Amino acid sequence: MIKKIKIDQLTPGMFVHQILEQDGALTVKSQGRVTSADVVKTLKKRGVKTLAIDTDKNFDAGEIAQEAVPETTQAGQIKNNAKPKKVTLTNELNRASKLHLQGKAIQELLLENLQKETPFDASIPKAFSNKLVESVDRNPDALLCLTKIREKDDYLLEHSLNVAILLANFGKFLGMSEEDVQDLSYAGFLHDLGKIKIPDEILHKPGRLTDSEMEIMKGHVKHGVDYLKSTDIAAPLIRAISEHHERLDGLGYPAGTKGNAISKAGRMLAIADMYDALTADRVYKSGMSSQKAFSILMSDAPTRLDQTLVQQFIKCLGVYPVGSLVLLSNDRLGMVLEQRDSPLTPLVKEFFSVRNNHYLPPRDIDLALDKTVSIAKAVIASDYKIDVNSFFERSVAT
């Protein structure tokens, strides 16, 4: 929706559709997202009085940034806020869905800034990453479900967001401190920004890259790291980001770092990055099942990936990860909603009949309690030519 506002109402995160009223002779670009408070100041200096914004393309950067400022007492001491209370999947799913959309908008903003080599307000993605961790604290399964709901054209936006979600869960599983989990998730959210500098014909090439194309692709790590070094991002986070393609045998890139010289955060980031890339749907190919991706991760351990961390990552996600599809023994498809004590008997949402090739009224089945149904195998949506995205609300949120 197009809305008219005054310049004093403009905040970072809004999308300017048109300049409506302006003093002076200098012209201002009519469309684009407001990337920082400095942009607002520049528009004011150039005499912009009123403008039209597209509310459908906005995200509430102000609300996110406020969460980066710790709440203090009257004495000036930082309050020690309690962890969010645990809630059910249903209660968290709507909030997590909004957070997921917000994350894609922020990721788009960061990519735009790197492409133009302009600075960004680091408090926004940092605070957003903290909100991801809070959602995982409330219910880890909500955001994990959303990592399986993908738009094929949005891989670059969704991949880093999904890696941030996976790392938040992984860090929690390993018992890391809240601050370390937040930093780990933040690193995941920023780790692939440099890919915006890679030509589309290489970045989205469906076939194998040539040696020269691969050298260009490898440059995305340096592009991202060089940009982040110009910001106030902490050095340990930049180090982890620089290591997400390094491998224990020293055959990774860009530095060929080997063995224990790779930080634990870098090793964890490498695993989550590889897993999400393997399971992601692209325009030119369908993602593989989690089980097949797990097999590839294990085949790369211990020579390339940290074997202990790979095993812990698989244990964290479970044999049938939340959000993945399974074929049930009754010839129906279900989406895994929650893990149970036994990794083979999760809670699933049955929603599609393979035998009759049609959707069903969604029904929850706790496989730990219902012994008449079991999981036959893991599957992917393309095996049955179904669009999980279109039916996500029907199959999960009901």
**Lowest mean pLDDT across 15-29, 141-155, 228-242, 285-299:** 15-29
* CA torsion, ordered 348, 352, 356, 357, to nearest 10 deg: -140
Give dist(CA 130, CA 69) in Å, integer: 12
For residue 72, the model assigns a pLDDT of 39
Q: Please state whether 124 falls in left (phi above 0), alpha (psi between -120 and 50) or beta.
A: alpha
**Lowest mean pLDDT across 41-45, 320-324, 377-381:** 41-45
Task: Tell me: pLDDT of 75 over 50.
Answer: no
Highest mean pLDDT among 57-61, 285-289, 345-349: 345-349
Give dist(CA 144, CA 149) in Å, integer: 10
Report which DSSP code applies to 121: -
pLDDT band at 47 (very low <50, low <70, confident <90, very high): confident
pLDDT (average), residues 117-146: 91
pLDDT band at 30 (very low <50, low <70, confident <90, very high): low
- The more confidently predicted of residues 156 and 24 is 156
Mean residue pLDDT of the chain comes to: 87
- Which domains, and CATH codes, for the chain? 2-58 (no CATH), 86-317 (1.10.3210.10), 325-395 (no CATH)
Give dist(CA 299, CA 307) in Å, integer: 9
Task: Say what percent of the chain tops pLDDT 70.
Answer: 87
For residue 376, the model assigns a pLDDT of 96
Task: Say what percent of the chain tops pLDDT 90.
Answer: 59
What are 23's two structure tokens?
A: 């003093």
49 near 7, Cβ under 8 Å?
Answer: yes
Q: List phi, psi (to 5°) of 112.
A: -60, -45
Helix (H, G, I), strand (E, B) or coil at 310: helix
- The more confidently predicted of residues 32 and 282 is 282
What are 291's two structure tokens?
A: 């089980």
pLDDT band at 18 (very low <50, low <70, confident <90, very high): confident
Give dist(CA 317, CA 322) in Å, integer: 7
Could you give the angle at the alpha carbon of 370 between the alpha carbons of 368 and 375, nearest 5°?
70
Task: Tell me: pLDDT of 28 over 60.
Answer: no
Please tell me whether the peptide bond between 361 and the residue prior to it is cis, using omega within 30 degrees of 0: no
Q: What pTM did the predictor assign?
A: 0.82
325 near 332, Cβ under 8 Å?
Answer: no
pLDDT (average), residues 195-200: 95
For residue 25, the model assigns a pLDDT of 57
pLDDT (average), residues 142-157: 83
Task: Tell me: pLDDT of 392 over 80.
Answer: no
pLDDT (average), residues 50-70: 62
